[in-house]
Structure 1
Amino acid sequence: MSKLVAVLALGAGLSSAHLQPAVSREGGNFNGAWSVELVTESGICDSRYSYSVSVQDGQVRLISSADRATMTGRVGTDGTVGLNVSNGSASGAASGRLEARSGSGTWKVSPLCSGRWTARRQTTRTAQAE
């Protein structure tokens, strides 16, 4: 069960709301790697999970996962997010919103546990030769 919740944390910021490429209101896009933290507020799940997901043209995929969980989701053009995750007989859902650099929302693995998630865009630094 904790692996399902961990995968839910990975994808918590990600949705099937819109089919267009994910673009923020500021004109940027949501493509790239995101760090997601899930905090359990009620139920029997572990208290906290931290993972990474990748967004590419609105499609979401796990960057790191050590189990057999599956995830479907998209990020909408307005940042609206939604996600469905399953692992064996357990399943869960998450929803919320991404902004240009961060996001937040809620998740639930019914009836076992629920909570909130936050996401931060990972930055890539490149070295420049002089």
Structure 2
Amino acid sequence: MRRAALAATTLALLTASAGVADAAKKKVQVPNRYDGTWSIEVVTLDGPCDRAYRYGVQIRRGEASYAGGEFNINGRVSQSGAVRAVISRGNDAADVVGRLGRSGTGNGTWTTTGLIACSGRWNAERRG
């Protein structure tokens, strides 16, 4: 009787630990602390690009997106707040670097990589 109970307990533990091991192997999507809606002000400091813009950018699971359709964002925000992105429209693109802070603000710089040479800064403020 004891042997049967021990065998049943061992089987139950092995089954449970296999389930935990399987769960550990699966990639779990953890929300990024910077997820949410951000208002981004883009200012040109050098070059013939438009002087300033303001856009609403959504960050979800650390990935940035823009719903306006005027341009594409391929960017990420790390858990520490570091920002790296490429913003493009047609053949024009800009490399973006900077940092978001826990206080709900952030800033950085951008530089174009196309035929028109421009550069500037950006400021961010969390909106939701």
The residue identity in structure 2 corresponding to 1:108 is T
User: What's the offset of the Cα at 1:66?
Assistant: 4.3
Specify which of 103, 107, 110 is matched with residue 107 of structure 1: 110
Q: CA deviation at 1:70?
A: 2.1
Which structure would you say has the larger Rg?
A: 2
Residues matched between the structures, number: 97
Q: Does 1:41 align with 2:45?
A: yes
Determine the structure 1 residue equivalent to 2:66: 62
Of structures 1 and 2, the one scoring higher in RCO (CA 8 A, sep 6+) is: 1
Q: CA deviation at 1:109?
A: 1.0
Give every structure 1 segment of 4 or more consecutive aligned residues whose post-TM-superposition deviation is greater than 4 Å: 20-23
- Is 1:73 aligned to 2:54, yes or no? no
CA distance in 1 between counterparts of 2:30 and 2:95 reads: 22
1:49 aligned partner, one-letter code: Y
Identity rate, percent: 36
Say which structure is richer in helix.
2
Contact kept? 1:22, 1:77, Cα under 8 Å: no
**Structure 2 residue identity aligned to 1:36:** I
Contact 2:66 2:72 in 1 (8 A): no
Gaps of 5+ in 1: 1-19, 24-28, 124-130
- Say which SS state the counterpart of residue 43 (structure 2) adopts: strand
Which deviates more from structure 2 when the two are superposed, residues 93-102 or residues 107-116?
Answer: 107-116
TM-score by length of 1: 0.68
Cα-to-partner distance string for 1:104-130 (whole Å, 9 max, x where unaligned): 00001135210000000004xxxxxxx
Q: What's the C-alpha RMSD, in Å, of the aligned pairs? A: 1.7
Gaps of 5+ in 2: 1-28
